[in-house]
């Protein structure tokens, strides 16, 4: 199995002495993972590109190599614990009604916890935002890296998850199927609110988490990234159709997306402060009740979904 990584990025500022070649220069390593567990670097490749798109996540090597700084509130001192669970899903009518819905609870211990749909109606993905201490408690099971665990810790975790997802003023009828088992490894990642000081530096352009990271509680990370790609494709097509250099309208992308994402990040950060930073159970129940009211008012729910998708089809 091979893995390609970027070794170096040159001429980001377009200062190449060769005026005929002011493209970004990239050098990559192709590494083979051998069956015995060792790795062998087999090839090094160099190439030039008119536009280098940084879509390599929150710890973006491309962003760092380009000297682009980050701004924003910073770390939330929370981590997310995520893994796949198996659902008790024997009712076909429930499959039709609930199989593609996402659920979220704002917990009294700081939460929130989300249950997200997958390709399978019998499975869902848990994304639980909480303190490192809570995550350390529940992540200690599943010691085997190859298969999910079936030990007592996982059984206790399943029970705890079901209790958490029912927490709140509305318990009848049940909002979702029972979780019956942990179906994957558990992964964690730190939660923060940052964005790049600029999304464009000459021929380098950032999208997705390389450009901005948000708290998962609002479910907007993917939507913001999709909107980045949609806007970038429009700008690249505009340059291509006009017979111009592909980087000609990158600053338009930067202006459009930086403004819109800044507004979204401000709102998401405010929601995080409102919903997460309280352990008052009655207040938590009021918040959950308010979210359920939105869920039950169809026109309002649809308008919020359209706004959340930032114009990307929902």
Q: Please, is 217 exposed, middle or buried when counting C-beta atoms within 10 Å of its C-beta (0-12, 13-18, 19+)? A: buried
**What are the C-alpha distances in Å from 123 to residues 84, 139, 176, 180?**
7, 19, 12, 10
Return the number of other C-beta atoms located less than 10 Å from residue 169's C-beta: 11
- Which residue ranges of the chain lie beneath pLDDT 70? 1-2, 14-21, 37, 39, 41, 89-100, 108-111, 141-151, 167-176, 218, 271-314
Global pTM reads 0.75
**Residue that is written with structure tokens 């040159």 in the block:** 10
H runs (alpha helix) in the chain: 61-65, 92-98, 132-139, 152-166, 221-241, 250-276, 281-296, 298-308
Instruction: Enumerate the domain spans of the chain.
Output: 75-189, 216-313
Which one is the CATH code of 75-189: 2.30.110.20, 3.30.9.10, 3.40.190.10, 3.30.70.1520? 3.30.9.10
What is the structure's pLDDT at 115? 85
C-alpha to C-alpha distance for 223 and 308, rounded to whole angstroms = 7
Spatial CB neighbours of 295, under 8 Å, sequence gap ≥ 6: 301
Cβ atoms 72, 241 nearer than 8 A: no
Cis peptide bond N-terminal to 203, omega within 30: no
Return the number of other C-beta atoms located less than 10 Å from residue 116's C-beta: 16
What is the structure's pLDDT at 246? 94
Secondary structure of 212-259 as H, E, C letters:
EECCHHHCCHHHHHHHHHHHHHHHHHHHHHCCCCCCCCHHHHHHHHHH
What is the structure's pLDDT at 64? 93
């Amino acid at each position: 199995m091979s893995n390609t990584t970027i070794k170096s990025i040159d001429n980001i500022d377009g200062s190449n002495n060769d005026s005929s070649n002011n493209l970004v220069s990239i050098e990559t390593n192709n590494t083979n993972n051998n069956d015995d567990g060792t790795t062998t670097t087999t090839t090094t490749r160099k190439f030039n590109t008119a536009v280098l798109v940084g879509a390599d996540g929150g710890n973006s090597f491309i962003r760092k190599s380009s000297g682009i700084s980050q701004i924003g509130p910073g770390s939330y001192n929370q981590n997310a614990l995520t893994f796949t669970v198996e659902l008790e899903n024997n009712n076909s009518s429930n499959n039709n009604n609930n199989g593609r819905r996402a659920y979220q609870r704002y917990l009294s211990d700081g939460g929130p916890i989300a249950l997200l749909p997958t390709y399978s109606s019998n499975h869902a993905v848990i994304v639980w935002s909480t303190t490192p201490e809570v995550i350390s408690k529940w992540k200690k099971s599943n010691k085997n890296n190859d298969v999910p665990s079936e030990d007592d810790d996982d059984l206790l975790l399943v029970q705890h998850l079901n209790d958490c997802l029912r927490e709140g003023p509305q318990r009848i009828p049940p909002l979702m199927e029972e979780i019956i088992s942990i179906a994957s490894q558990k992964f964690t990642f730190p939660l923060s609110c940052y964005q790049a000081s600029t999304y464009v530096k000459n021929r380098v352009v950032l999208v997705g988490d390389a450009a901005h990271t948000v708290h998962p509680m609002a479910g907007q990370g993917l939507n913001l990234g999709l909107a980045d790609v949609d806007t970038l494709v429009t700008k690249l097509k505009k340059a291509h159709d006009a017979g111009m250099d592909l980087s000609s309208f990158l600053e338009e992308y930067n202006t459009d997306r930086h403004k819109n994402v800044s507004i979204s990040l401000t709102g998401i950060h405010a929601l995080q402060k409102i919903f997460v930073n309280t352990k008052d159970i009655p207040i938590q129940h009021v918040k959950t009740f308010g979210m359920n009211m939105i869920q039950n008012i169809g026109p309002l729910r649809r308008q919020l979904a359209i706004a959340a998708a930032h114009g990307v089809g929902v």
